[in-house]
Amino acid sequence: MKIGLGVDVGGTFAKLVAVEPRGRPLYQTQVPTEPGRGPRSFIRRLLGQIRSAELELGRKFEAVGLGVAGDVDPEKGVLRYAPNLKDWSGFSFKASLGDKLHRPLVVENDANMAAWGGFALELGKRPKTMVAITLGTGVGGGIIVDRKLYRGATGSAGEIGHMRVEPRGELCHCGSRGCLEAYAGSYGIVRSVRKLLGPGRKGSILKSLCPDLDGLTPSTIALAAEKGDPVAQAAWIRTGYYLGLGIVNLVYCFNPEAVLIVGGVSKAGPLLLKPLTEVLQSQPFRTPFRKVSVRIARRSDLGALGAALLALEESG
């Protein structure tokens, strides 16, 4: 049985996972990214880790998939730009890693990898068409058409965090206004809470959980909302509302069978699902919504798993 290796490169660590084609993980580990030492140093350490993993498992990886959070050219395997790895812009993973691996390498945006992981592992029968939305610091996505990863003209398909859901709205990290990410990315959610809190409110559950509001995170906000904090609850309603609008737009365009929400922020679960479902249900033109199932992913490591599985899929 063939096994694949998936690598999910983040700003601090790269997660490695070896999986068999049905998604069972056989081995996992981490390599520090250490962005300051440059991408070549990272590649050397990654190759060392791959070799020792193969020794430990006693078998070779058939194919390697590597996902990076950022703007990736999948054809050339080049990281065009990554907010967390700014100095690595223009670096070709395919040239530097591919040459030394002597086996197929797939390089992709991390959201596309997570979308593939979700498509392969989260939905029972693989749907024909699917959209994944990844909620983290930023908001990304990936699109499946005809049970294949759909990449688009520049490999940018699924950049749904920058769909503009409120044209004169909140500022996004990209510099534009009213992008979905500006509401549903973790920084947008934290900003919502700050705005809603204002200077006057005291004694809220939020402040007791997180006296230093500088350290607010989506998970603290979710905890506060579950304990009944009205500001935290209002923030999730706002987030779910805009996420719902984004999904409405995706459904009218793409008419997918499934929408899968993945990533750290998706752990808020019902706090997100309830308001977004209300937006979906309030659309008067119903046909495109009849066959779509909207779910939150159970697994939290879909980026690395999907990287391994996509590499196996596209090499075999």
Question: Could you list the residues that contact its own copies (CB under 8 A)?
Answer: 71, 80-81, 128-129, 141, 143, 145-146, 150-167, 174-176, 245, 248-250, 252-257, 282-285, 287-288, 290-292
In the complex with its own copies, the residue whose CB is nearer, 145 or 223, is 145
In the complex with its own copies, the residue whose CB is nearer, 59 or 80, is 80
| Residue 40: CB minimum distance to its own copies, A | 24
| Residue 286: CB minimum distance to its own copies, A | 9
> Residue 155 CA to chain centroid, in angstroms?
16
Contacts of 268 (CB under 8 A, 6+ apart): 218, 221, 222, 225, 236, 239
Among residues 293, 316, 309, which one has the least CA distance to residue 116? 309
Cα separation, 62 vs 60, in Å, equals: 6
Among residues 9, 1, 3, 26, which one has the least CA distance to residue 304? 9
| Residue 154: CB minimum distance to its own copies, A | 5
Contacts of 260 (CB under 8 A, 6+ apart): 115, 118, 119, 122, 123, 130, 131, 132, 133, 295, 296, 297
In the complex with its own copies, the residue whose CB is nearer, 60 or 291, is 291
In the complex with its own copies, the residue whose CB is nearer, 61 or 254, is 254
In the complex with its own copies, the residue whose CB is nearer, 257 or 314, is 257
Q: Are 118 and 302 in contact (CB under 8 A)?
A: yes
| Residue 282: CB minimum distance to its own copies, A | 8
In the complex with its own copies, the residue whose CB is nearer, 36 or 284, is 284
| Residue 44: CB minimum distance to its own copies, A | 29
| Residue 226: CB minimum distance to its own copies, A | 27
